Amino acid sequence: MVSIIDLPKTASGMKKEDKELFDRFFKVRLNTGELAFPKEMIGWADKTFGNHKDLEKQKIVYVLNKLIYEGALFNEIRSKRPVAAKSNEDTIAQIHSSEGDPFCKPLTGTPKDTFGRIKGRYCTTASNVAKYDALHGLIVFSKHNPLEFTEKELQDYFDTALKWVEAGNKKYPNAKYPFILWNCLWRAAASIIHGHMQMVLGEETHYAEAEYYNKIRLDYAKDYGGNYWDDLYKIHNSIGLGLELGKSKVFLNVAPRKDKEITIISDAFDKNFVKAIYSSLDTLRKEFHMESFNLGIIMPPIEKKHLFKKNAPNEWTGFPIIARIVDRGALSSKSGDIAGMEMFARTPVIETDPYKVMEKLKENFK
């Protein structure tokens, strides 16, 4: 199987036109990290890593997206490590032990928004007690365990979230900038175990990442005459890291924010888009034993204009809906996965080879 470590070779073997596009976005380098063990450490290294010789010369690939200044480091040794075989029983017990929490009885255990509660078939909305922003709601799942979800339930959660966005905008017409997020379990910073998603609806400007991506997209169209997101997908597809489901484009970013990042872009928040999200989560859950994750969905504004630039051209036209998922590691692990490299070097260290994830996604998307 092709590996992310082969990316410089894969890129240099591309067709001229594809290679030019690749080089427009990415800078890639391959280096070897070397070390020498004292003989006293060899036994330990063999036991821990299989063969100490693999550690003496470690191939490392660095990828930089030059257009947005986001990079990632992939180490051959880390990416060769086997996937954890099963969930820790203690963490499953911990999820069950919190059953009977206030979210299990949302009508009496959670506040509602001033525009009321929206009920889905498998969920209900609630107003967040301590808000990120003025409009901050929750989708409280009927099921307690957030890792037990079906495609039908996910469709219902998102339908209900979109209805909440609509209702919030109707009551507060200046609130037009939606963002949907799901922090699943404590590694992903969820303070409540019970399954829930969140929605925020900003006023006046969009959240920073959406504003930034829109600027990048408009600059890209001016400089190159193309569509940033379509071209980014095209590159990933040409190196074997993309697939399509209806009008949804799914890819494994070579400069991801964190481990196993899957990006899904679509022009519409339709059934196929949710199906692509479901299949991605399901693949990570079943094939990679993902237990804790962040999902974020950036959407264009409800009215595609800035409030403070009323006569400006419709500058959000063509902005896609962008969903991103990252795995936050095993629930039993005590060390965090966001450290100095992620926080201040904007260069996350990635554990899993994106090609391994794409191989499983392709099987599951059939």
Closest CB to Zn ion among 58 and 145?
A: 145
Count of CA atoms in the C-beta half-sphere (13 A) of 156: 18
| 30 touches Zn ion by CB under 5 A | no
Binding to Zn ion by CB under 5 A, coded x per residue (else -) over 225-244, reads: --------------------
| 101 touches Zn ion by CB under 5 A | yes
Closest CB to Zn ion among 95 and 326?
A: 95
- Nearest CA to 255 out of 22, 17, 14 is that of 22
- DSSP 8-state code for residue 203: E
Both structure tokens of 258: 């964190």
Number of residues this chain uses to bind Zn ion (CB under 5 A): 5
Smallest gap from Cβ 184 to Zn ion, in A, equals 14
Closest CB to Zn ion among 101 and 363?
A: 101
Smallest gap from Cβ 194 to Zn ion, in A, equals 3
DSSP 3-state assignment of 73? strand
Stretch that binds Zn ion, among 84-92, 120-128, 144-152, 163-171 (CB under 5 A): 144-152
Measure the CA–CA gap between 280 and 275, rounded to whole angstroms. Answer: 8
DSSP 3-state assignment of 311? coil
Stretch that binds Zn ion, among 75-83, 94-102, 153-161, 315-323 (CB under 5 A): 94-102
Closest CB to Zn ion among 60 and 104?
A: 104
Closest CB to Zn ion among 146 and 202?
A: 146
DSSP codes joined into one string, 301-356: -SSSS-TT-TTS--TTTTPPEEEEEEE---TT--S-S--HHHHHSS-PEE-S-HHH
Smallest gap from Cβ 87 to Zn ion, in A, equals 19
Binding to Zn ion (CB under 5 A): which residues in 163-222?
194
Neighbours of 309 (CB within 10 A): 9
Burial class (CB in 10 A: 0-12, 13-18, 19+), 313: exposed
* Beta carbons within 8 Å of 48's beta carbon, 6+ residues apart: none
| 148 touches Zn ion by CB under 5 A | no
Pairing of strands 293-298, 175-184: antiparallel
Stretch that binds Zn ion, among 7-15, 141-149, 282-290, 332-340 (CB under 5 A): 141-149
| 273 touches Zn ion by CB under 5 A | no
Smallest gap from Cβ 124 to Zn ion, in A, equals 13
CB 207 within 8 A of CB 316: no
CB 114 within 8 A of CB 171: yes
Closest CB to Zn ion among 109 and 240?
A: 109
- Residues near Zn ion (CB under 5 A) are 101, 103-104, 144, 194
